[in-house]
Chains A and B, each alone.
Chain A
């Protein structure tokens, strides 16, 4: 029998390894283009790590998306079981089989039924495979889990020799093959399959930490190709496998100068008059009951008002609870939910592991394509992981969001710690804008204060504002800063009243003084008039005297002349 009909195609130019896209979200990015074309890839992992699912998705997508039919040779599950299991993935295997796009073959090996009597080989498998490949014109092959041969066939030497021959044969036929293998104690697979498959080895892991499970995938080896060596979380859901290649992100995002309103006019004013930068990350921290959710609700409301989509991850309250509570301060979020602009994802952090959370969030973001993402609060994620993990996760999330120019608001619950500028999850360095809400306890009451701790790239107010929740939303007021410190609430009001009273007294004093002055001026003027009148009288008298004197002298001289005339003096 001629088994070497399809020759392994020589690699083009010898430098670039030909790859075969898997179509599995994220896996093609991690492997930089898919699995080695025409070569076997080993997928190993523990029980329930998703090996079979990955393999079958590889075949299904190959058949549906890339026009490459495939053969699934199962050593563990019957065809019926397989079909049933992948219906949940959105593939109808029966249809694909009927359309001759996929060939299913279940190889049952039961050691109890087998008696070994002399020499044999596994040509039967080759024949079945050959037949399967020929009947659908397969380009892809999955052998799941071929290790069953080791337990089913008494002579391991035969199995080893035949496996070697099988993989070479598949290579010669140019089949892009996935071979699955159960994880061994110290080796990748229990029977050392990695010895035979040297081109590409992918390891799946399913870890339980603090009662929550996380799936991870790692490309252990990829001969002749660059690949990401990190572990990546992956999800299995109704749409199949999604690998999250997020650690491959870096600080590559470009920034924009566009600004978005915070939804609180006064806060916009504090942030250079325009609000947050679009695509920036905003951290709102504060202890319990300082109004963090109210501040983000304003932002969500404002975003929806602009017609933008907003995705709200609520880790503390249910959707309806947030909506009800925000209605009490006059923010109607329900209308936006109904219009499809606002989407809630509420859930306790403990339902998933951290990586899964990240993956779920990532997936929802990719699907919903929001302009604004709110995580309220991120500190709750501590419940499922330690701080450094949360930070790593948030770094990845924020990198992704920044790359997509999504404005992100994270709230953080701070404990009454001695250093108020530290957050439980030390992520302040990730935030571009950090708004702190705080309690101000004074004079037997508790008030809320707000200030901007930092805001990169914009002039921002350094003032503490009093933060008041009214039935029309959040209101920011100036606080009273006086000799006795910062005053808020009723202390501020009474201080302001006192100030007003003092002002009034001072005003009245001044008025009285002015009146007195007026009176004095009038008295003075009266005196002046009096003196002037006296003077006038005296002056008139003196003038009269002078006149009389003049008249008298005139009269005297006239009399003398008259006398002289009378005497006729010579």
Chain B
């Protein structure tokens, strides 16, 4: 499911930290409706705002329960912005687009 784009170097004005590629990790537990909704919401949003500069990794904790510890996952679904730093966590099915954008710092907090 991971999508990779080539790195961009001149993007400083776009977000904090002068990021090349956004690394996003979506934690789910099986194919629940919440998980599926989260993934499709995320995909849509990235295409809109981060076209070509993102990578999404979906981790199914039912298959890899040990991975939950590393990113301190307790809520499902959880989206973790690994890059750019700092790490951000967004919980829920990402249906509230505004909040996701705020959470990812894609739009400034109003």
Contact = CB atoms under 8 A, between A and B. Distances in A.
Contact of B78 (A108, A124, A131): A124
A108 B93 CA distance: 21
Interface stretch (A109-117, A313-321, A396-404): A109-117
A128 interface: yes
Interface stretch (B6-14, B17-25, B98-106): B98-106
B46 interface: no
A382 B70 CA distance: 55
Contact of B72 (A1, A108, A122, A123): A108
B74 A107 contact: yes
B51 interface: no
A121 interface: yes
Contacts of B76: 120-124, 127
A118 B93 contact: yes
A118 B75 contact: no
A118 B95 contact: yes
Given A1-B29, A131-B68, A117 B92 contact: yes
Contacts, number: 97
A122 B34 CA distance: 12
Interface string B27-41: 101100010011001
A491 interface: no
Contact of A127 (B61, B87, B93): B61
B89 A122 contact: no
A120 B41 CA distance: 14
Contacts of A130: 65
Contacts of B37: 118-119
B6 to A, nearest CB: 28
A117 B61 contact: no
Nearest to A105: B69
A121 B75 contact: yes
Nearest to B68: A128
Contact of B89 (A1, A113, A121): A113
B92 A1 contact: no
Interface string B52-72: 000000000110011011001
Contact of A1 (B30, B34, B74, B94): B30
A120 B92 contact: yes
A117 B103 contact: yes
A539 to B, nearest CB: 150
A118 B32 CA distance: 14
Interface in A95-112: 105, 107-109
A86 interface: no
Interface of A: 1, 105, 107-109, 113-125, 127-128, 130-131, 149, 153
Q: What are the 9 closest A-B residue pairs judged by CB atoms, nearest first? A: A115-B103, A131-B65, A118-B95, A118-B92, A123-B76, A118-B93, A124-B73, A117-B92, A120-B92
